[in-house]
A and B are shown apart, each in its own frame.
Chain A
Amino acid sequence: MYSHYHSIYCILPPHMLKEIVDRGTPTQRELAVRTLRISSQFRGQRQAIMETPGLAAVVQAAGKVRKIYNADYGSTLPGRLVRSEGEPPTNDPATDEAYDGSGATYDLYQDVYGRNSIDDNGLQLDSTVHYQKGYDNAFWNGQQMVYGDGDEDLPPAEQLFNRFTIAIDVIGHELTHGVTQYEARLIYWEQPGALNESFSDVFGSLVKQRQLGQTSAQADWIIGQGLFTSNVNGVGIRSMKAPGTAYDDPVLGKDPQPAHMKDYKQVAYDNGGVHINSGIPNHAFYVTAIEMGGNAWEKAGRIWYVTLKDKLQTTSNFQAAAQLTYATAGELYGTGSLESQAVRKGWSEVGIDVGGGGQGCLAALAGLFQPPSASQK
Chain B
Amino acid sequence: MRIYFERSGGFTGMLLTSSVDTDSLSEEEAVFYQSKVEESGFFDLPARLGSPDAGADRFHYRLSVETKESHHSIDFGETSAPEALAPLIERLTALARSSR
Q: Which partner residue on chain B sits nearest A161 by CB separation?
A: B12
A141 at the interface (CB under 8 A from B): yes
Q: Which partner residue on chain A sits nearest B11 by CB separation?
A: A138
Q: Which partner residue on chain A sits nearest B79 by CB separation?
A: A141
Q: Which of A57-65, A269-277, A353-361 contacts B (4 or more CB under 8 A)?
A: A269-277
Q: A133-149, CB under 8 A of B: which get 1 and which 0?
A: 01011111111000000
Option from B9, B52, B55 in Cβ contact (under 8 Å) with A270: B9
B8–A177 touching, CB < 8 Å:
no
Interface size class of B (residues with CB under 8 A): 20 to 34
Closest 6 CB pairs of A and B: A275-B13, A142-B54, A269-B8, A139-B57, A142-B55, A177-B56
- Beyond the given A270-B8, A274-B9, could you list 18 further A-B residue pairs with CB under 8 A, ordered by the A residue number? A134-B97, A136-B97, A138-B57, A140-B55, A141-B55, A142-B54, A143-B54, A158-B98, A173-B11, A224-B11, A237-B11, A237-B12, A256-B13, A269-B62, A270-B15, A270-B60, A275-B11, A276-B13
Option from B12, B53, B54, B62 in Cβ contact (under 8 Å) with A137: B12
Q: Knowing A269-B9, A276-B13, say if A188 contacts B56 (CB, 8 Å).
A: yes
Chain A residues within 8 Å of B, Cβ to Cβ: 134, 136-143, 151, 154, 158, 160, 164, 170, 173-174, 177, 180-181, 188, 196-197, 200, 224, 227, 237, 251-253, 256, 269-271, 273-276
| Cβ contacts under 8 Å, B53 to chain A | 141
| Cβ contacts under 8 Å, A276 to chain B | 13
B58 at the interface (CB under 8 A from A): yes
Looking at the assembled complex, report how far the CB atom of B73 sits from the nearest CB atom of chain A, in whole angstroms.
12
Q: Which of B1-50 contact A (CB under 8 A)?
A: 6, 8-15
Q: Which partner residue on chain B sits nearest A139 by CB separation?
A: B57
Q: Knowing A251-B100, A252-B100, say if A177 contacts B9 (CB, 8 Å).
A: no
Q: List 12 A-B contacts (CB under 8 A).
A: A134-B94, A137-B10, A141-B54, A164-B11, A174-B57, A177-B55, A188-B52, A237-B11, A271-B60, A273-B13, A275-B9, A275-B10
| Cβ contacts under 8 Å, A273 to chain B | 13
Interface of A is mostly: loop
| Cβ contacts under 8 Å, B62 to chain A | 269
| Cβ contacts under 8 Å, A137 to chain B | 10-12, 57, 59
| Cβ contacts under 8 Å, A136 to chain B | 10, 12, 97
Q: Which partner residue on chain B sits nearest A173 by CB separation?
A: B11
Chain B residues within 8 Å of A, Cβ to Cβ: 6, 8-15, 52-60, 62, 94, 97-98, 100
Q: Which partner residue on chain A sits nearest B12 by CB separation?
A: A237
| Cβ contacts under 8 Å, A188 to chain B | 52, 56
In the docked arrangement, what's the CA distance between A227 and B14, Å?
A: 14
Option from B10, B14, B57, B58 in Cβ contact (under 8 Å) with A252: B14
Looking at the assembled complex, report how far the CB atom of A157 sits from the nearest CB atom of chain B, in whole angstroms.
12
Option from A151, A197, A269 in Cβ contact (under 8 Å) with B97: A151
A139–B55 touching, CB < 8 Å:
yes
Q: Which partner residue on chain A sits nearest B8 by CB separation?
A: A269
| Cβ contacts under 8 Å, A143 to chain B | 54-55
| Cβ contacts under 8 Å, A164 to chain B | 11
B11–A196 touching, CB < 8 Å:
no
| Cβ contacts under 8 Å, A196 to chain B | 56
Q: Which partner residue on chain A sits nearest B54 by CB separation?
A: A142
Looking at the assembled complex, report how far the CB atom of B12 sits from the nearest CB atom of chain A, in whole angstroms.
5
Looking at the assembled complex, report how far the CB atom of B80 sits from the nearest CB atom of chain A, in whole angstroms.
13
Looking at the assembled complex, report how far the CB atom of B78 sits from the nearest CB atom of chain A, in whole angstroms.
8
A170–B11 touching, CB < 8 Å:
yes
| Cβ contacts under 8 Å, A142 to chain B | 54-55
| Cβ contacts under 8 Å, A174 to chain B | 11, 56-57
Q: Which of B11, B15, B59 has the largest count of A CB atoms less than 10 A from its CB?
A: B11
In the docked arrangement, what's the CA distance between A202 and B59, Å?
A: 22
In the docked arrangement, what's the CA distance between A174 and B11, Å?
A: 9
| Cβ contacts under 8 Å, A256 to chain B | 13
A200–B56 touching, CB < 8 Å:
yes
Q: Which partner residue on chain B sits nearest A223 by CB separation?
A: B11
| Cβ contacts under 8 Å, A180 to chain B | 56
